[in-house]
Amino acid sequence: MFPFRNPLYGWFSKDMAIDLGTANTVVYVKGRGIVLREPSVVAVRKDVRGSKVLAVGGEAKEMLGRTPGNIMAIRPMKDGVIADFEVTEAMLRYFINKVHNRRHLVHPRIVISVPSGITQVEKRAVRDTAESVGASDVFLVEEPMAAAIGAGLPITEPTANMVVDIGGGTTEVAVISLTGIVYSRSVRMAGDKMDEAILQYIKRKHNLAIGERTAEEIKTSIGDVLPEEPYASMEIKGRDLVAGIPKTITITAKEIQNAIAEQVDVIVEATKAALEATPPELAADIVDHGIVLTGGGALLKNLDKRLSNETGMPIIISEDPLSSVVLGSGKALDRIDILREIAID
């Protein structure tokens, strides 16, 4: 569906696709594939002389919750869109320079994936940010469309393809046919909200304060939508809110199921709403082909089983859920005719 051109052309190309995610930023360079995957975090030092970027990506994430008062570890993306323009610009500039090793002046064409519910103001912010770091041309592609291409779905054919893309900031549900989005819904409920729910649950139930990074580790280690006995468990460390001293407790997968139940319910309801809004002819295709899960949330244990139980549809987890969006945007770079068709204004 997306035939590659002369591979030699790709090696000299600077064109890139960027999945500017709330949790992670992934960069794909034409002809080279995925070249960078880093947390969307920037460490900034603020003093009387102004702000200075100290670290970006993985190095900055290590500082989350561990910085002195004048250093802030900032996540400039919130709910899939730019919350801090200047910091996002600094982060993008750093990543692009890192990818191209600062060897030469680079003016690439850039494809950036955005949530389907994005506003005109938010689109302008993404476009301005890409242009400010030297993009010669900026294409915005809706995340569910990019995820569908990345998952290898036949988006150009007159059959329905349904995608549920669960990222850090948003969950995108879309039905795609003939390179167009027939139905889409973006809910600002995804991985980050689950982390926050875990953090609050442990604070409320165990009087223990933990950080964002610990909450994320709990989710990825023992997070389970349908846990079974004997429940998986893990030890976590935090600060006892009563005694004010460090403390270690053991929590179970059953507790985490309860902690994230509300977020999982919202994702399930958004999926069911999409099925209800799909035209009958296309709904029949979904029964045959199933629903494809992509994004980091697709890796949450038994979420596919819960969705299948609730919808009665086959659920397929894409081959590389964490990379589907950026791979789809990258494939679109190889077919400019398709890219122009799926790009949004």
Residues tagged in the binding site annotation for ATP: 22-24, 168-170, 216-219, 296-299
DSSP string over 230-286: SPPEEEEEEEETTT-SEEEEEEEHHHHHHHTHHHHHHHHHHHHHHHHHS-HHHHHHH
Pairing of strands 208-209, 233-240: antiparallel
What dihedral angle (degrees, nearest 10) is formed by the CA atoms of 78, 84, 89, 94?
A: -70
Helix ranges (DSSP H) in the chain: 7-12, 58-61, 85-99, 120-132, 143-150, 191-206, 212-222, 253-259, 261-277, 280-289, 303-311, 324-333, 336-342
Using left for φ > 0, alpha for ψ between -120 and 50, and beta otherwise, residue 179 falls in: left
**Annotated binding residues, as ranges?**
22-24, 168-170, 216-219, 296-299
Q: From residue 105, give the alpha-carbon distance in Å to each of 8, 99, 134, 305, 314.
A: 21, 12, 9, 49, 48
Spatial contact of 76 and 62, defined as CB atoms under 8 Å apart = no
